[in-house]
A and B are shown apart, each in its own frame.
Chain A
Amino acid sequence: MSKSISIPAQTYTGNVRDFGSLVTFLISQLKPRGKMLTPFNIITAPIILVGGVLIVIRFWKGIGYVSNLSQEFPWGIWIGFDVVTGVAFAAGAYVLTFVVDILKFKKYEPVLRATVLNGLLAYVFYSGALLIDIGRPWNIVNPIIGNKFGFSSVMFLVAWHFLLYMICEFLEFAPAIAEWLGWWKLRKFLHAITAGAVILGITLSTLHQAGLGSLFLLARNKIHPLWYSQHIPMLFFVSSIFAGLSIVIIESSLTHRIFAHRLPKGNHGGHDEIVLGLSKGAAGTMLAYFFLKIVEIVHGQNIHLLSTPMGQWYLLEVLGFVLFPAFLFLSAIKRRSVKMAQFAAVLTALGIMLNRLNISIIAFKWDSPNHYYPSWHEVVITGAIISIELWAFRWIVNRMPVLDERHDPQEVKMNNRRH
């Protein structure tokens, strides 16, 4: 291979041989890097602080003190946004591992690690958010180690697939950690099992993306007929593909700006190609999804509902945030306009958010005289969780080899010697 890979010097400080050097290394890595008073820090730090206080109150006094959840609306934004929307947004990881590790489209490799890391962090923090939402979190291990397995429960399957997928994602990301620590033998082993973790991860993702939708199958008489259908699982799965792809476009575009110092030199043209390539995938799945939605409406004999206020809300979601961005993607590919593709990705992500919130909150008991609106506490706690997640992402990206290309152990060893 003649192509040389430039490795930022500070990445491979790890040469950890024993426990003592591991501790010293970790302590040296824990130190914050860069300026403290950035606009990002100034906004997120108070949110995290206030959110932390609210979380303490929630565990001390009860969920009712910090939320607008009620007997009528037991699930709010902690489920509808943090979990149901967040998991769809994290779908990029399984879609990209499929494209890169199974189909071997090497073109997308530069954005793979960041995407997997994002997915992993999303899952870790959403299960964290779940601990806040569920009333008896000390029993959370029951579906895993308890002797009472609710096999008939969709939630049981989702919980197991969720947990196993987190392990898979950790294994997929682990090579970066091994490289960071300079543990090459482990790195070699992890590299060997990556394909297995990827195959298992895609399978588990398919099911729990669909499973999150299936949760709502039991709310037959509570969800507006335009959103309720027997095919929610399929719709959730298909939409998770373009949800994930659009988030990869947004996230990689942002990280390429923010973490430019971490990128291998001369990779910017490559990123444009990646965005346009991902746009093709998004547009294709979005058109397929739109077609499914039409079939759904015709089959459910719900066309007459489109003229009601809820019907217009539905049309806004499906036309304005699925069909329109799909055409924007197509147009962006034709004109080779990365900016347009990024705009389309933002619209698509908003559309996914709208869809998930519609099913879990807005169209849920749409005909009730009461409605649920999140309390400011709920919003701040959600904001705090997202902020901590972004801090963790930044910390890892600034230390581990995430944004640079994946390395062959042999190559890195040679490079390391040269340094």
Chain B
Amino acid sequence: MSFKRRDFLKVAAGTAGLALLGPGKSADASSAVPNPNNPEFFGMLIDTTACIGCRACEQACGEQNKLAEQPAEYWDDKTMDQPRDTTPDTYLVVNKYPNPADPSKPIFSRKQCMHCNQPACASACLVKGLEKTKEGPVNYDKTRCMGCRYCMIACPFDIPKFNYDSPTPVISKCVFCTSRLKNGEKPACADACPTGATLFGTRRELLEEAKKRIYTNPGKYHNKIYGENEVGGTGFMYLSSVPFEQIGMKKNIGSTPYPEDTLGFLFSVPLVDVLWPALLAGLYSISKGKDAENQKDEKETHHE
């Protein structure tokens, strides 16, 4: 039942979306076809001003990743009354936020892995269970993962999830539909989006598009692209009509890539590994000589 409603929404929204964006703005980026040989890496642009909260992306994500099926009431709009977090069974959630300008038109935004340019999770992982690929996705390999959950501690967006209720748990999160990208397809959510609120393309193209939208629509957007500089830049970027903390985005995460925070220590490791033994051996040989002398003295006094 909900399927039909959703299909209807898709079509309805498609027309509405065009009107919303105006001519030519759903634009080149959304039609970008992934090219596996492209040296630039992929990203997404989420234009929350175009999102109508139909949750087609959410549904497509569940189907694509073969996640546990949700009960019918899950797809009710009431689910969005409380902001939700991703879970081991939902890699992508659409949330509803009040619109201060027009309370009758709430703002919808989505939450999923941001696919950081320099991901904290991947730098935290001691077995490369999480890895940033050159195409853009941050991928997970459960055959390597130890389940230490350091990635969860490290991720500035609290994205990696862990199924504590399983004896064979895994880390789960959006992997940017890596398998689809390999086949030259768009990620499932971008494919499903009826309004162009989720745009797929190379990160460079999407940044251009985002800037263009801000400059050509004075007053429509809050003048900032979330993800352009956050934690050194993220693969997923957001546009919004209101400051980003009002749509549940993390503030105060800085613009330095997280892995840089541990560089100082990592560089000091080989230094200490080389210097300490040398210094200690030096100290040892000094005190050993002293020790031998003492013993000699002792013996001599004993002989006397």
Given A136-B146, A150-B127, A157-B269, verify A104-B291 contact (CB < 8 Å): yes
Q: Which of A99-122 contact B (CB under 8 A)?
A: 101-104
Q: Interface readout for A212-233 with B: 1 if CB under 8 Å, 0 if not? A: 0011111111100000001001
A230 to B254, alpha carbons, bound, how many Å? 15
B143 CB to closest chain A CB, in angstroms?
8
A71 adjacent to B87 (CB under 8 Å): yes
The chain B residue with its CB closest to the CB of A211 is: B265
Any B CB within 8 A of the CB of A287: no
Q: Interface readout for B134-175 with A: 1 if CB under 8 Å, 0 if not? A: 000000001111111110111010100111111111100000
Segment of B56-64, B68-76, B197-205, B276-284 in the binding face: B276-284
Q: Interface readout for B240-254 with A: 1 if CB under 8 Å, 0 if not? A: 000000000010111
Would you call the interface of chain A mostly helix, strand, loop, or mixed?
A: helix
B284 adjacent to A220 (CB under 8 Å): no
Given A69-B164, A71-B162, A217-B261, verify A155-B148 contact (CB < 8 Å): yes
B276 adjacent to A134 (CB under 8 Å): no
Any A CB within 8 A of the CB of B128: yes
Any B CB within 8 A of the CB of A202: yes
B272 adjacent to A207 (CB under 8 Å): yes
The chain A residue with its CB closest to the CB of B153 is: A219
Any B CB within 8 A of the CB of A206: yes
A332 to B170, alpha carbons, bound, how many Å? 53
A275 to B283, alpha carbons, bound, how many Å? 24
A74 adjacent to B149 (CB under 8 Å): yes
A62 adjacent to B165 (CB under 8 Å): yes
A139 adjacent to B145 (CB under 8 Å): yes
Q: Interface readout for B109-126 with A: 1 if CB under 8 Å, 0 if not? A: 000000000001011111
B126 adjacent to A218 (CB under 8 Å): no
A154 adjacent to B280 (CB under 8 Å): no
Q: Which of A177-224 contact B (CB under 8 A)?
A: 195, 198-200, 202-203, 206-207, 210-211, 214-222
B262 CB to closest chain A CB, in angstroms?
5
B147 adjacent to A136 (CB under 8 Å): yes
A154 adjacent to B266 (CB under 8 Å): yes
A102 adjacent to B167 (CB under 8 Å): no
Segment of A6-14, A140-148, A241-249, A257-265 in the binding face: A140-148
A202 adjacent to B169 (CB under 8 Å): no
B102 CB to closest chain A CB, in angstroms?
29
The 9 closest A-B pairs by CB, nearest first: A135-B147, A64-B164, A156-B126, A136-B147, A74-B149, A218-B154, A203-B276, A135-B169, A74-B152
Residue contacts A-B, CB under 8 angstroms, 15 given: A60-B167, A62-B165, A64-B164, A71-B85, A134-B149, A136-B169, A137-B147, A139-B143, A139-B145, A142-B144, A143-B127, A199-B281, A203-B273, A219-B154, A220-B254
